[in-house]
Amino acid sequence: MNQDALRALLEDLQQGERTVDQVLSELSTLPYEAVEGFAHLDHHRSLRTGFPEVVFAQGKTPDQVVAILTRLRERSRQVLATRVSAEMYAQVQGRLPDAIYHPSARILYVDDDPGRAKLAGVSVLTAGTSDIPIAEEAALTAELMGHQVDRIFDVGVAGLHRLLDRLPQIRKANVVVVVAGMEGALPSVVGGLVSVPIIAVPTSIGYGASFQGLAALLGMLNSCATGVAVVNIDNGFGAGSLAARINRLAHREEA
């Protein structure tokens, strides 16, 4: 239950459209709800953080994912599951008919208000085309959390002119997510060109000595550019979530 839903519930009580017992029943599962012995859903999370609990599908059964998403959707207009394989989606598709699946990002979501106004100011960059799946995980996460996302793909340091050509566009953002594998150099370059926070996302893309993204992670952690924060390898969701929070704060300051 988000703040708008809670406000509507209390207004119904004030106007006599719901009884005290009905409101108590609605609020009874706000802290958390036990689901069939395998999950405790944190219905209070949207009140604390601005977005409902997100389901990490990897390691869960299709039945568990369906049960959790169904319960979350009863109280939230947007629900999100990450790391959903194509095989899992094939098993849950008919039971979640309104859900949208993005196979590249491995994201499954429901958005009951897709036309709502969104906050501009998030840019997502990739060094290469191979980094796009992780970038899309970040971009779709931020979009579902209520933000417009400007996607700028395949602008890595091997052809620096591609990045420089897009620099005026990038500088309009309040926060920039930079996704790169191999040696992970792109966030440092972008960090030296813009004044806003950079969220660096190392990917597991690369040849053997990249060690499944460890080389990119260490390169980003050792960035000489200031204002660069780093999330874990392939953690597009974490980057998108952080970008959404930063952009929300930027708009509060503007107001």
**pLDDT per residue as tens digits for the range 169-207:** 999 999 999 999 999 999 999 999 999 999 999 999 999
CB of 72 within 8 A of CB of 52?
Answer: yes
What is the per-residue pLDDT for 3? 63
Closest CA to 132 of 160, 171, 104: 104
Q: Are 137 and 82 in contact (CB under 8 A)?
A: yes
Strands laid side by side in the 107-111 sheet: 55-56, 78-82, 107-111, 100-102
- Give pLDDT, residue 162: 92
Find tokens 């959903």 and name the residue: 84
With a cut of 90, say whether residue 20 has pLDDT above it: no
Tens-place pLDDT, residues 116-135: 899 999 999 999 999 999 99
CB atoms within 10 A of CB 166: 14
Q: Give one DSSP letter per residue of 151-216, joined into a string.
A: EE-S--GGGHHHHHHTHHHHTT-SEEEEEE-TT--HHHHHHTT-SS-EEEEE-S-S-GGGGGGHHH
More confident residue, 252 or 38: 252
Confidence of residue 12 (pLDDT cuts 50, 70, 90): confident
**Around Cβ 97, how many Cβ atoms within 10 Å?**
7
pLDDT in tens, 137-166: 999 999 999 999 999 999 998 889 999 999
Phi/psi of residue 171, nearest 5 degrees: -70, -10
Question: Which residues lie below 8 Å from residue 168, measured CB to CB, with a gap of 6+?
Answer: none
Between 31 and 230, whose confidence is greater? 230
The token pair at 216 is 């990119």
Q: Give Cβ neighbours of residue 247 (< 8 Å, ≥ 6 apart).
A: 119, 121, 122, 142, 147, 174, 175
On the question of pLDDT at 45 being above 70, the answer is: no
Domain ranges of the chain: 29-111, 119-254
| Rounded CA separation 179/156 (Å) | 10
What is the reported pLDDT for 52? 72
Task: Tell me which architecture the domain covering 119-254 has in CATH.
Answer: 3-Layer(aba) Sandwich (3.40)
Check whether 242 has a pLDDT greater than 80.
yes
Question: Which residues are paired to 201 by β-bridges?
Answer: 179
- Phi first, then psi, for residue 88 (nearest 5°) are -65, -45
